[in-house]
Amino acid sequence: MFIDFEGIDGSGKTTLSNLLAARLKRLGYKVVHAREGGELQSSTARRIRELTRDSRLLEMTSRAEFFLNLARDAQQLEEVVAPALSRGEVCITDRYLHSQLALSSGGRGLPMDALQGACELAAQGLWPDLIILVDVDPEMARLRKRLGKVQGGRAQDADSRKGLSGAGLSVRVRESFLAMARKDPHHWLILENNEQPLWVLEQRLVEAVVARLEQRELPVQRLVPAPPAPQPGATSVADVESRFFLALDALETREPHLAAWMLGRIPGLPAHQRRLALAERYPALIAGGLLGLDDEAAWDLREALAATTPTSVASGLEALSSPRADALRLRLYAQATPEVLASLTRHDSPEAWALRERGLRDGRLADVLAGLGGVDGDDAWEVREAGMRRELYGAIALSLAGLDSARAEALRQELVPHDRLAVLRSTTGLDTPVARTLRAQLEGKALKLVLRSVTGLTTDDAWALRERGATRTKEAIDSLDGLDDPRAWRLRARHARQWTCTVVSSLRGLPLGPEARVLLERALEAHPGRLPVLRNAYAVVATAREAARSGRAPRSGTQPSPTVQLES
């Protein structure tokens, strides 16, 4: 029997496919998993996959990507799938040709009819007997994927080629998968992975597959019913706090790591109390979630966690400048050198330079460059020149973040042939010739980064980019973070239904005026129990409440640190 798992990135298909393989083996079945442990068994297929993921290959077309993915699956078929089936074994794949149809047609826009013939040639008549679509809210999938990177120490990994297209790609791919499943209910089973514990999903999955192996038909296509109805009554701004924490409690029973991580960057006493309750079990996630928080309670928690998880505490110091931050960096330097040096972005103080000089003596030039964004002056330029001699082009480009001087622009121009994406990232919030040229060149190749680079900009070019990009991906709305501008409000209102979570998160730091309240109320009314919406809405409310309590005016039209992106 040939069983294929499909779903968008972060859906949980790799975890569930491996759980199924293990359970079937324990039940006595002979099982081959073509991607056991998340790694393709064919070495040739692995090398092809590296090409399709390489974000440096910006000129690769959608058709070339399709044929490479097709070659990967054809190789897996020849080396792994077909031999296993010929031996009478159960063969499980984590992605097969349906993924190429969903990505290239639904995601990239190539004609489905033209793709199907090529897939038939690659399949050689071997199509899965059962396709399990692990279906999930794209926002939850994205949160889980980010959490996985954080837990795996890959938080700073560069985007893959798919990632460069923006989050809208996953939405379109998911819709394509669902359309294929609706057309062929006999072969497709939909396993919903939104609000069910993993053990429940595993058990229902095993029961469904064993039923097929024993040639018993399943009565319905969906293995897990739709999520239960939310609590009676619509969620409003007034009760978003209680609704968010109730939803977080439910999440903690299923995915405690994700619950801890979702508390990140939310100010105020209620969130702090939850962090305290989870800090002993998940110290790294709690420490990293203190990023940007500058209240006394957050500092006390950093101090308490510093010995247990120094790297996460150091990472959370980015954008913070105070004697207490300087002292903690000095204390953590030996255990978390890269993170401490990277946290010095925009800091030009004697204390910051003392740490940089220590880093240079220790041979940490790349790490020093990573924390040099927004810093001008002769010392900073000497470090950049040293980086050029070492050919650390990507790190040098990022060290130019926030700088729009003629000298910075000239260096960007010199760096473009070496690392266009890093140079583009360095132009966030800037309207310079190099920035405009790169945005025009890369709009069709790295839309996500192009849109994020216009965060805080109110030029006509920036608005035109947002207008074109907003129908394709949420990053057009991400770029509105902190903008209190009539055009920003119109764009938020126009796309509030399509990118609800992102529209809500873009309000963070703005005053809770009438326009913001209307958007929040409409989002909560439409999605009263949807956790990503509740989380973002509560973060907006808590931030505004904390600003009012402390007497600090919320920001309006300011741009974030170039390496800090608000969650959405």
Q: What is the pLDDT of residues 430-452, one digit of tens each?
A: 999 999 999 999 999 999 999 99
pLDDT average, residue stretch 186-196: 90
Q: What is the pLDDT of residues 368-413, one digit of tens each?
A: 999 999 999 999 999 999 999 999 999 999 999 999 999 999 999 9
**32 three-class SS:** strand
Contact 35, 15 (CB under 8 A): no
Kindly give the pairing relationship between strand 188-192 and strand 2-6: unpaired
Q: What is the pLDDT of residues 244-287, one digit of tens each?
A: 999 999 999 999 999 999 999 999 999 999 999 999 999 999 99
pLDDT average, residue stretch 99-114: 96
Confidence band of 295 (pLDDT split at 50, 70, 90): very high
Amino acid 254 reads R
Phi, psi of 346 (to 5 degrees): 70, 5
pLDDT tops 90 at residue 170: yes
CA distances from 109 to 53, 112, 266 (A): 19, 8, 38
**402 three-class SS:** coil
pLDDT value at residue 244: 96
pLDDT tops 80 at residue 556: no
pLDDT tops 50 at residue 1: yes
pLDDT value at residue 559: 41
Q: Where are the domains of the chain?
A: 2-213
pLDDT tops 50 at residue 462: yes
pLDDT value at residue 548: 86
pLDDT tops 80 at residue 554: no
Q: Residue 476 region, left (φ>0) first, then alpha (ψ -120 to 50), else beta? A: alpha
Q: Determine the Cα–Cα distance for residues 34 and 4; give it in Å rounded to an integer.
A: 10
What is the number of other CB atoms lying within 10 angstroms of the CB of residue 437? 15
Task: Give the CA angle between residues 308, 313, 314 to the nearest 5°.
Answer: 125
The beta-carbon contacts of 404-409 under 8 Å, at least 24 apart in sequence, are 404/430, 404/431, 404/432, 405/376, 407/381, 408/376, 409/433, 409/434
**347 three-class SS:** coil
Nearest 10 degrees: CA dihedral of 341, 345, 351, 356? Answer: 40
pLDDT value at residue 565: 40
Contacts of 530 (CB under 8 A, 6+ apart): 137, 139, 500
Q: Determine the Cα–Cα distance for residues 206 and 481; give it in Å rounded to an integer.
A: 44
Kindly give the pairing relationship between strand 130-135 and strand 90-94: unpaired
Nearest 10 degrees: CA dihedral of 212, 214, 220, 222? Answer: -40
Compare 466 and 161 and report the one with higher pLDDT: 466
Mapping DSSP onto H, E and C, the string for 254-310 reads HCHHHHHHCCCCCCCHHHHHHHHHHHCCCHHHHHHCCCCCCCHHHHHHHHHHCCCCH
Phi, psi of 370 (to 5 degrees): -60, -25
pLDDT average, residue stretch 327-350: 96
Q: What is the pLDDT of residues 205-218, one digit of tens each?
A: 999 999 888 887 66
pLDDT value at residue 368: 97
Compare 321 and 536 and report the one with higher pLDDT: 536
pLDDT value at residue 154: 75
pLDDT tops 50 at residue 564: no
Contact 4, 132 (CB under 8 A): yes
pLDDT tops 80 at residue 235: no
Phi, psi of 481 (to 5 degrees): -50, 120
pLDDT value at residue 555: 46
Contact 402, 427 (CB under 8 A): no
Q: Give Dmax (Cα) for the chain.
A: 75
- The rounded mean pLDDT for the chain is 91
If you write DSSP's letter for every residue of 199-262 in order, what string do you get? HHHHHHHHHHHHHHHTT---S-SBSSPPPPPPPSS---GGGHHHHHHHHHHHHHHH-HHHHHHT
The H or E element spanning position 423 is helix 420-425
Looking up tokens 């792994």 gives: 80
pLDDT tops 90 at residue 351: yes
Confidence band of 567 (pLDDT split at 50, 70, 90): very low
pLDDT tops 70 at residue 558: no
Q: What is the pLDDT of residues 139-155, one digit of tens each?
A: 999 999 999 888 887 76
pTM of the entire predicted model: 0.91
> Could you tell me which CATH number the domain at 2-213 has?
3.40.50.300
Q: Determine the Cα–Cα distance for residues 228 and 53; give it in Å rounded to an integer.
A: 37
Contact 564, 271 (CB under 8 A): no
